[in-house]
Chains A and B, each alone.
Chain A
């Protein structure tokens, strides 16, 4: 992986789309400081088996998002972003890696929480949006986000990920239907 050596920051966005029938699909979008898309990866839908549900219990979701989906997607990417942003606190497992993870408040109108995540998280006070970090030195992160927010709303790329996953699923379903019809 490379790309973090450039002077302009890049931003990795991790998100999932959960579907009762299909399972959980992860998406990872890396954007430039102007919000332009640089790289995108998504997973096939993952549906934990009954055994896995029993085995992991309440830790299943953090394991699935942080250790499995998040980690796999981050490893697949060729560009290493300056920071990774996620709405879902269960992605916190990704933060073990070198790239700092930021938690962004979701769309409250859509029912997402704006409450601070549990653990040693601090709110970035310089940011319009509710963003939490676990780093000691928040100054460069605040500057990067400030640069990004000139071009786009910080939380906007999450919507792109969900749109892209929906599109991939839609095309997949249409392809399946066509094959079945044939």
Chain B
């Protein structure tokens, strides 16, 4: 049977049934109909027409099929499979794991951590290679990489962030576990064959901390520390087969020629690492410094930086870090908003209040403390004499002169140099009584070792321990361990320089800032020794400020800046050019007058 049929194409889109009926006689008549494409509606129409005894006019839609375009490909493992190389899909370890694990061991998961491609992967097929991989949790299980503690979801996100990236800055707030995230990502890279040798550079006091953390989170990875005599160090640098090499910044600077191969009898060529990780990477914020130059000259495939304070003094600090991580991406003087856009894909920063909603609260209180009469008298005399002296210097006054006066006054706020009075120390003693009664320990930070030593004498009944630059490095771990385990040691007295980074003191419930550092970022680092993952309860932070003194004026300036820290990452163009005290701000602490008028600038 030949049916007359009519063709409709997509141009009839949006046409109603009645309109179609009207249009039908006008369209081209075809000689046949593909019955497979005809619909019940059309067939029923034909039946009715035939029953009526008339020659049916049948409209059929010849383009009812869909024009499908597809995109896709065999992936590398699929190609291996088709080639019969199924063994390449799985490591021997993986096979062993699969044989020994059963389905019952698994628990249902609702959240998967995806490893997303970094923005420098541009081709769609390359990006899909990342997105089509199993989630991070499955990759870790496939490699039999277990954690001693189950990571927080944001930590898995951090691992998934680092793992695919060649250029990355993990800038989580202190205490969120940057160390664990970096170690786990290194571990995953090592097990997937992407990293055979990684170099970890950290401040010297943190070397043992990294060793301990590596033993906890990646016990199967071999680790070696660069230390000892030059011969020993050279052996470690050049001959070690360990997966992770730990070196402190000073070693890297000192051993540049060994790393570069220049000093070797035979030109062995420069060392090349698959990955170089810088901990506390704010150490290289000054691109012109020797440390920055040394780490930047190391040949490497991947460059990661870890820091809780990517902007310590100024947004240019980030430019310094990026000179190592990804040179050319940002430059000093860039507008904060543009800098934020440029680094967006390479920087991951999370804060505790956003990701650790279960972390015990941090209670910060500012204690305005009146100086004792003798202390106040000494202070006032020193300030008046100092200001007169500076004013008398007129335009000859330098920033160093101002700085020295500030330091002198701050020291008086701690202890009267003549009478030895200290209102702050008296208040601290009283507060510590309360701490001891609560069964928790306290950390006291000061800028000066002298103040720490004076406090030690006064706080003997609390079993004080000291941790500062004058304590030899080899003794420092012992000090921390004693503080952790000795029930009679209720307080540790630390300098900001030695104790503010890298230490895990979450068993302490109280932090006292006996005097104030110049920079809120450093104070935050100090506070976060106690307020971090694992904190057993709320952490009470007491910032001691001598009322009506230079300390209060400094605090006022810094308070205005504290809120602006995240401006680069929060796309806030109001970012300050300096996070610490600028030259002008330091001068403004005193109303300096000279015969020529107010002193507004200094050399």
Residues of A within 8 A of B (CB): 2-3, 6, 8, 10, 28-30, 32, 34-44, 46, 48-52, 54-57, 64, 68-69, 72-73, 76-79, 107, 109, 128-129, 146, 149-153, 156, 159-160, 163-164, 167-168, 171
Of the A-B pairs whose beta carbons lie under 8 Å apart in the complex, a sample of 30, sorted by A's number, is A2-B82, A30-B78, A32-B77, A34-B98, A36-B89, A36-B134, A37-B77, A40-B73, A40-B128, A41-B71, A44-B70, A48-B66, A50-B14, A50-B15, A51-B10, A51-B20, A51-B64, A68-B65, A68-B66, A72-B70, A77-B72, A78-B74, A79-B81, A150-B98, A151-B138, A156-B135, A156-B138, A164-B132, A167-B131, A171-B127
- Residues 133-161 of B, flagged 1 when their CB comes within 8 A of A and 0 if not, give 11100100110000000000000000000
Q: Is the CB of A39 within 8 A of B72?
A: yes
* Residue B106 lies at the interface, judged by CB distance under 8 Å to chain A: yes
Q: Is the CB of A163 within 8 A of B131?
A: yes
How far apart are B565's CB and chain A's nearest CB, in angstroms? Answer: 32
A37 to B131, CA, bound (A): 10
What are the residues of chain A within 8 A of B102 when measuring CB–CB? 150
Q: Is the CB of B75 within 8 A of A39?
A: yes
Q: Is the CB of B78 within 8 A of A109?
A: no
- Residues 113-138 of B, flagged 1 when their CB comes within 8 A of A and 0 if not, give 01000000000100110011111001
* Residue B69 lies at the interface, judged by CB distance under 8 Å to chain A: yes
* Residue B96 lies at the interface, judged by CB distance under 8 Å to chain A: no
A37 to B139, CA, bound (A): 12
Report which of A54, A79, A156 forms a contact with B112, defined as CB distance below 8 A: A156
A69 to B106, CA, bound (A): 33
How far apart are B384's CB and chain A's nearest CB, in angstroms? Answer: 65
A180 to B86, CA, bound (A): 45
| Nearest chain A residue, comparing its CB with the CB of B109 | A153
Known: A40-B72, A56-B64, A68-B68. 7 other contacts (CB 8 A): A37-B78, A43-B69, A43-B70, A48-B66, A52-B64, A152-B138, A160-B132
Report which of B41, B69, B86, B124 forms a contact with A55, defined as CB distance below 8 A: B41
Q: Is the CB of B110 within 8 A of A44?
A: no
* Residue B17 lies at the interface, judged by CB distance under 8 Å to chain A: yes
What are the residues of chain A within 8 A of B114 when measuring CB–CB? 163
Q: Is the CB of B134 within 8 A of A152?
A: yes
A50 to B16, CA, bound (A): 8
Q: Is the CB of A41 within 8 A of B131?
A: no
Report which of B12, B69, B86, B103 forms a contact with A49, defined as CB distance below 8 A: B12
Q: Is the CB of A51 within 8 A of B82?
A: no
A165 to B77, CA, bound (A): 20
What are the residues of chain B within 8 A of A30 when measuring CB–CB? 78
What are the residues of chain A within 8 A of B77 when measuring CB–CB? 32, 36-38
What are the residues of chain A within 8 A of B135 when measuring CB–CB? 152, 156
- Residues 539-556 of B, flagged 1 when their CB comes within 8 A of A and 0 if not, give 000000000000000000
Report which of A32, A78, A128 forms a contact with B103, defined as CB distance below 8 A: A128
What are the residues of chain B within 8 A of A151 when measuring CB–CB? 98, 134, 138, 141-142
How far apart are A4's CB and chain B's nearest CB, in angstroms? Answer: 11
A2 to B69, CA, bound (A): 22
Q: Is the CB of B103 within 8 A of A149?
A: yes
How far apart are B310's CB and chain A's nearest CB, in angstroms? Answer: 28
| Nearest chain B residue, comparing its CB with the CB of A78 | B74
* Residue B90 lies at the interface, judged by CB distance under 8 Å to chain A: yes
Q: Is the CB of B8 within 8 A of A51?
A: yes
| Nearest chain B residue, comparing its CB with the CB of A41 | B72
A28 to B78, CA, bound (A): 14
Closest 9 CB pairs of A and B: A41-B72, A38-B78, A37-B132, A44-B69, A50-B13, A49-B13, A39-B78, A35-B134, A49-B10
How far apart are A89's CB and chain B's nearest CB, in angstroms? Answer: 20
A156 to B134, CA, bound (A): 8
A171 to B61, CA, bound (A): 35
* Residue B108 lies at the interface, judged by CB distance under 8 Å to chain A: yes
Q: Is the CB of B112 within 8 A of A159?
A: yes
* Residue B433 lies at the interface, judged by CB distance under 8 Å to chain A: no
Report which of A109, A156, A171 forms a contact with B124, defined as CB distance below 8 A: A171
Q: Check A32/B81 contact, CB under 8 A, given A40-B128, A50-B14.
A: yes
A30 to B81, CA, bound (A): 12
How far apart are B157's CB and chain A's nearest CB, in angstroms? Answer: 15
A137 to B90, CA, bound (A): 29
- Residues 441-466 of B, flagged 1 when their CB comes within 8 A of A and 0 if not, give 00000000000000000000000000
- The listed residue with most A CB atoms (<10 A of its CB), out of B75, B109, B131, B133, is B131
Q: Check A34/B78 contact, CB under 8 A, given A49-B12, A72-B68.
A: no
* Residue B39 lies at the interface, judged by CB distance under 8 Å to chain A: yes
What are the residues of chain B within 8 A of A2 when measuring CB–CB? 82
A44 to B124, CA, bound (A): 14
What are the residues of chain A within 8 A of B132 when measuring CB–CB? 29, 37, 40, 160, 164
* Residue B94 lies at the interface, judged by CB distance under 8 Å to chain A: yes
Q: Is the CB of A146 within 8 A of B8?
A: no
* Residue B354 lies at the interface, judged by CB distance under 8 Å to chain A: no
Q: Check A39/B69 contact, CB under 8 A, given A34-B94, A146-B103, A164-B131.
A: no
How far apart are A42's CB and chain B's nearest CB, in angstroms? Answer: 6
| Nearest chain A residue, comparing its CB with the CB of B98 | A150
Q: Check A34/B66 contact, CB under 8 A, given A40-B132, A76-B72.
A: no
Q: Is the CB of A150 within 8 A of B128?
A: no
What are the residues of chain B within 8 A of A3 when measuring CB–CB? 81-82
| Nearest chain A residue, comparing its CB with the CB of B122 | A171
How far apart are B534's CB and chain A's nearest CB, in angstroms? Answer: 30
Q: Is the CB of A150 within 8 A of B41?
A: no
Report which of A36, A41, A51, A153 forms a contact with B108, defined as CB distance below 8 A: A153
What are the residues of chain B within 8 A of A44 when measuring CB–CB? 68-71
